Structure formats: structure tokens, C-alpha cells
Structure 1
Amino acid sequence: MPEFDLDSFKKTWQEQPVKPKYDNNEILKMLNKKSRNYMKYIFWISVIEFLFFSVLGVFYLIQSNESDSFLSILEKMGVHKDSQLVAKLDNIYLIVKILSLVVTGFFVLKFYQNYRKIKIEEDLKLFIIRIITFKKTVNAFILTNIGLLLVLMSAFIGFTFYIINIQNIEVSNSTLIGFLVGIIIGTILCVSLIWVYYRLVYGIIMSRLDKNLSQLKEIESQEN
């Protein structure tokens, strides 16, 4: 019986070429499919957001008392509440609601268009461009929502000074400073909450999409 040399066997086994589990084409197909699914998740999340804000907007229209809290602040500053003031404030809220729904609806459409353009059999370089475009759309959606909030807060500040001027109200500096500080703190808190929400909801999906994008770029560099 021939003598079994374990060391020789181990050396021969280690020198054998290791075949990759998947080739680039198989990896590419998996990454494409995953990326498409991630985009689909973001699309449906945006649809849910649109429906949520639509229902919320209808609810507030029925209630028609959302301006009471801001009116109470104005009254504490000496502003006289009348039907004209309430109507103007309600119009501001209505414009903000419509603008918010239009912006959200626009991005829902953009997400859907970007998602539909992604094809698994698409050229790798073009596919990478599609993903980068989709990422830019998501970032634009987040920044636009934050921008809308800043515009809303600025509108409230401008409206407050407009009413004070129209009604010839003398407001102390300390009251004005307190009002502005409250608006600024409230804005910072709201922006922070929006940012945290999008980082949690969209950030997790986008981080995985980024990982796929890095792997796709690596495959493309190997092919060139």
C-alpha cells in the first residue's frame, strides 16, 4: 500500500486554482435586480407619503381649525383677530398644502419614471448612470421638502410683520425677539425631524444602493 503524504496533499490542494463562485455576468444580473428592487421600495414609500399627506390635507380642510394655534400667538402679540385675518391665514395654509402635494406628486412621478427606465439587460455604463440619476432625484426630494418647510416658516414671519404693520401694533423688542427665537427653534426641530426621518427611511435603502453602485463600478472597471 503506497504511503500517504499529508503535507504533499495539502500543498497540491492549495496550489489548485480557485474558481469564482459567480462570474461577472451573474453578479451583474443580481446587482441589477437588487438595485431595481431598492428603487421600487423608494417609489412605493413616496406613494404612501403622497396618500398620507393627501388624506391629512382633506382632514384639515374639513376641520378648518389648523390656524388657531398661530392665531393665538398673534393675539398674544396684540393682533386683532377678524374674519379677514383668518381668511388670509387659511389661504396661506391652503397654498402650502397644494404646493406640498404638487411637489410630492412630481417626485412620485420622477421615481416611477426612473424605476421604469431601469432594465436588467441594459448596458452596464448606462445602468450606472440611471442609478446615479435616481440618487440625485432622492436627494432633491429630501432637500425640496426641507426647503418647503423653510419657505413656510419665512412666510409666517413675513405675514406676522405684515399684520403688525397693517394694524399699527406696537410690539416690544423682547416680544419680537421671543417670537423669532421660537420660530427659529421650531424650524430647527422640524428640519431635524425631517432629516432623521429621511435618513432612517430612505438612508437605509440608499446605503444598500450605494453598495451596489460601487460593485457595478468595479465590474465596469474590470471590463474596460
Structure 2
Amino acid sequence: MNADHATQLRLLDLAGADQALAQLTHRRRSLPELAALTEKAKRAAALRDEIVDAETAVGDLDAEQQRFEREIDSVRTRAQRDEQRMQSGAVPAKELEGLQHELTSLARRQSSLEDDLLEVMERRESADEVLERLTAALAVVDAERSDLESRRDAAFAEIDAAAAERAAERERVVASLPADLVALYEKARAKGGAGAALLQARRCQSCHIELPGSELAAVRAAAPDQVVRCDNCGAILVRTEESGL
């Protein structure tokens, strides 16, 4: 295939646009904010699980506290009723001792229940503190995530704008090149390297390998408009005064 020197030089503009687009794609996929957001999402999920556990603990302690309060009220009511019976003077003498014994037992039971209630209330206070701490930590993580999302979106917008500009530039270059030359360029690029590269100081600037003697001799002997390729990576070699031929 033949193409004049100026046309072959434009292949370098096409390769430059493709390289820039690849770099922008890589940058978009590897923004530090993306990794940070993943970590924040994991942390937020873990905190939410802990909050559910803490809320469950608080709910259980609430139920336990209410149970003790009901029992204390029941004991207190019964003691008041017994006390009223004793003070009424209508209780037979043989029942007084039983009532006094029951009042003593009820007082011990109330005291024990009140101790248990106090312990539950203290545990509830600690559980509330844990829940408050976890909720505050989640709020911090959510705020950090929001900030990271804003920074990510701003970076995406910048990258996408640059990519659109480069894509338009690429289209202009492709439109100025022969279709068969573009097809050869795309075939070479499909191998994973650059579709075209400068031959500089006898070295392909795509694979960065210096041309061996036989290949160099063939390139040196090729006509200026002949399209030559790197035997190693397949890139179209664009020759200039810097090629060292």
C-alpha cells in the first residue's frame, strides 16, 4: 500500500487521538474517588448492620424495663391493698400475721425488682449511647460519600468533555485519510498496540524495539510513499528525518 508522506504523518495525529482517548478511559475507570466510594459503601453497610443490632438491643431493653415497671406497679398495688386492709381494723387477728409476712415479702420483692430495673435502665443508657455513636458515625460516612460523589461527577464531566473533543478530532483525521489506510491502521491497532508510530532512531515508538538489521534494511530501501510496518507489533511505521535511516 502506498500513501504520500503527509498522509502518513496524519496517522500520528490519529494515533495521538486514540492514545488520548485510551488514557481518558483509563482515568475514568481508575478515579481514586471510585475506590474511596466503594470503601465508604462497605463502611456504611457495616454501620447500618450495627445500628440494626443496636436498635434491637434498645428495643429488648425497653421491653424488659416495661416488664419490670409493670411488676413493680403490681407489687406496689398489692402492698397498698394489704396495708389498707391492716389499717381498716377489719382483719381478723389470725390473718394479721399473714398480712405482715406478705407485706415483708412484697417489700423485698419490690426492692429486688427496683434493683433489676435500675440495672436495665443503666444498660439501656449504655445502649442508647452506642446507638447514638453509630448513628453519628453513619452520618459522617454519608457526608463523606456525598462529597466523593460530587468530586466523582465533576471529574466524569471533565473527562467526558475531553473525550468528546478528542473523538471529534479523531473523526476529522479519519475523514481526511484514505479508507484503505484507515482499515490497515485499525487492523494494526487491534493487536493491542498503536496503529501507527514514529520510527525514531531506528526504534519503533509503539513497541520500543529497535529494528533488526534485515528489517531496517527493508525499511531503508522502501519508497517514501510505501507504507511499512513494524514486524514486531504490526504498527505502521511513519518515517521522518529522526528515523535514523
Q: Give the TM-score normalised by the residue count of structure 1.
A: 0.33
Larger strand share, 1 or 2: 2
| Bigger Rg, which one | 2
Between structures 1 and 2, the one with greater helix share: 1
